[in-house]
Structure 1
Amino acid sequence: MHNPGKSIPERFPAHERFAAGAQYIAGRFTQGTSGRTYAVVDPATGEEVLSYELAGVADVDAAVAAARAAFPGWAGATPGERSDALHKLAAVLAERAEDFARAESLQCGKPLKLTREFDVPGTIDNTAFFAGAARHLQGQSAGEYSGDHTSYVRREPIGVVGSIAPWNYPLQMAAWKILPAIAAGNTIVLKPAELTPLTSLLFAEACTEAGIPDGVVNIVTGTGKEAGEHLVGHPDVAMTSFTGSTAVGKRVAEIATATVKRIHLELGGKAPFVVFDDADLEAAANGAVAGALINTGQDCTAATRAYVQRPLYEAFVERTAALMESVRLGDPFAAGTDLGPLISHAQRDRVAGFVERARAYARVVTGGEIPDGKGAYYRPTLIADAAQDSEIVQSEIFGPVLVVLPFDSDDEGIALANDTPYGLAASAWSRDVYRANRATREIKAGCVWVNDHIPIISEMPHGGYKASGFGKDMSAYSFEEYTQIKHVMFDNTAVARKDWHRTIFGDR
């Protein structure tokens, strides 16, 4: 493994960039007012990269007030004006791409090649998509449905959105929350994870530089218990969008329901990877390793349960293990690094605990080790021969761990794929179009890939079934979360007493 920090280019000057504070309210950086500080730590080295004061209730109130004050002007802007601002934002993000990539790698431990080639370009593309989509917020065509009236539908912004983003993809998740909300004419207060606020703050700053009015995009960086719960329950917040664990999602829903808010939840996942016996073995093995290890496995859509039809099972296990062993752990900023650390030592130890417990009932084929060094690293791990009802198969691990199980019939493979509470993503591997098409119909997940696993595009929706939540990120479908539908009806008769008035005024 590369020696973290040795002969590596400068990471990102977080202390310097956020000297004014880690809150962004009404177009400027401010200090938090909770009276408590928090340290952002580089998970590759264990070194502190930023110490900041957490947001308290007063900061959330100030951010919501700024968003509420900005709402009438932003909601009243034309779709073209909002579109122009988002096009400018995409240009600003492109100009600052390297800063964003380095900041994301620093706070998350992602290899720089991942942030440069996936996180940042994906966010820029998402911004460009919503710049165009802002001009296409349309309702149903006008028509005379009753015969005496003309009806049409208005699609209107909801108001102030209060959103909470996770630590695994801080930049992309901030964009997924902010972009559809403001493209539709809402204003937003976003709470990023306190571990990873850097790129959310940079994104809000870029919004201001692009000409988006002060108060339209605000960031409060605090704990979920204090800042997050207050934001979700705030009476001036009309909607909340949350991405994170199913357990926390239930708490968010509980708070939001008490204030009759609209909610959008993108929660946990335990994605199945179903390999039928006619699949391309080499393609499936490569896809499994890439799909399981991207972002060090800290991805709700990561391939976590590989079900392989028995004729290919042993060969798949052997080839996948060999590919995992070729993956290079190292410093995120070093050339040649394939896999970085987990987000923290606590998360690494949590992952290691799952694997250690699995040794009692399954076979650890490769990995299952914490390498020497300071960082929160864990070796890519392949586990075989676990039971379907075991913890390693059923629980979301959120680390570089793939478990492989055999199946016999196609019916069994699809049934096993559906046998968890989750339903965020899945993939099916087959050269038979009918077999693959059946899998896409019958696997209960918000996204089913065929002969691939992980790719996402701005034009298509992202969201889950079952305990993976409801509602959609990305695509024009996301506007369903961030807009109100209003029916407007005009009388066409100019008659003072309508026919239906006889129900009140007596017989005709």
Structure 2
Amino acid sequence: MVAKMRNGGSACTAANRFYVHRSLLAEFIERLTAAMRAVRTGPGLQEGVQLGALVSVAERDKVAGLVADAVADGARITTGGHGSETGAFYEPTVVTDVAHGSALTTTEIFGPVAAIVSYDDVAEAVRMANDTVHGLIAYVYGEQALALAVAHRLESGMVAVNRAVLSDPAAPFGGVKQSGLGREGSSEGILEFLEEKYIGMDLPTVPA
């Protein structure tokens, strides 16, 4: 929930696609659906509200369009799936049976929508996770040794293993592929602001 709903899902580090092993799929959907359904949506200054509006009505419509396209391709909504008629609000939404490669899995959603794709083996999950032009951050949950092994195979600038918050001023922040070049933060981030100078010189010949 934290990884998905940080800033209402409107964050570059928010989780978009959830690849869930088929043996855990039913329980995962049930628990995530219940948690998303419990989130109270409304004006951000209203007491008790947990999820405010998206950045614009256009963004609301983009999110609604991604969900509608997924449903048209056979996906199923277990909670949410509606935007407000006025304002830029969109309900916390869980979409299951999502086809890998659909717009909902290839677009940065920037909204409170969790797209769930099932898999049968780890190699398949890694292949699908890497099948994207994006590569800023990934999240892996599971037995520690296996999760760490998967993290090394993911094409992502940052990987959180069994945790939902990864950003740290002491650690490099940045992605691969179309998710940016270079790094912010830590000593690696400082190097981005430095200019390297190369000086080449032949050493004097030492007499035999």
Is 1:355 matched with 2:61? no
Amino acid at match of 1:437: L
More strand by share: 1
Is 1:332 matched with 2:38? no
> Structure 2 residue aligned with 1:465, among 164, 173, 176?
176
Amino acid at match of 1:443: L
Report deviation, 1:333.
Answer: 2.1
Amino acid at match of 1:368: G
Q: Which residues in structure 2 correspond to 1:55-204 (within 5 Å)? A: none
2:192 aligned counterpart, secondary structure: helix
Deviation digits for residues 334-389 of structure 1, max 9, x if unmatched? 332211100011111111111122221211111111135x4311001111101112
Do 1:446 and 1:463's aligned partners in 2 also have CA atoms closer than 8 Å?
yes
What corresponds to 1:499 in structure 2? 205
Do 1:367 and 1:382's aligned partners in 2 also have CA atoms closer than 8 Å?
yes
Amino acid at match of 2:57: H
Report deviation, 1:479.
Answer: 1.5
What corresponds to 1:308 in structure 2? 20
Do 1:302 and 1:454's aligned partners in 2 also have CA atoms closer than 8 Å?
no
> Structure 2 residue aligned with 1:434, among 145, 149, 153?
145
What corresponds to 2:84 in structure 1? 371
1:458 aligned counterpart, secondary structure: coil
CA distance in 1, matches of 2:68, 2:151: 34
Q: Which residues in structure 2 correspond to 1:17-32 (within 5 Å)? A: none
Deviation digits for residues 472-491 of structure 1, max 9, x if unmatched? 11222112211102246899
1:440 aligned counterpart, secondary structure: helix
The CA RMSD measured in Å over matched residues stands at 2.2
The structure having more radius of gyration, on CA atoms, is: 1
Do 1:444 and 1:465's aligned partners in 2 also have CA atoms closer than 8 Å?
yes
What corresponds to 2:165 in structure 1? 454
Amino acid at match of 1:291: A
CA distance in 2, matches of 1:434, 1:294: 27
What corresponds to 1:383 in structure 2? 95
TM-score norm. by structure 1 comes to 0.39
Is 1:297 matched with 2:3? no
Report deviation, 1:299.
Answer: 1.2
CA distance in 2, matches of 1:349, 1:489: 58
Is 1:403 matched with 2:115? yes
Structure 1's unaligned 5+ residue stretches are 1-288, 501-508
Deviation digits for residues 386-420 of structure 1, max 9, x if unmatched? 11121111122221111001111111121121111
2:49 aligned counterpart, secondary structure: coil
CA distance in 2, matches of 1:433, 1:386: 27
1:464 aligned counterpart, secondary structure: coil
Do 1:445 and 1:464's aligned partners in 2 also have CA atoms closer than 8 Å?
yes
TM-score norm. by structure 2 comes to 0.91
Give me the identity figure in percent. 38
CA distance in 2, matches of 1:336, 1:381: 19
What corresponds to 1:477 in structure 2? 188
What corresponds to 2:53 in structure 1? 341
Aligned residues: 206
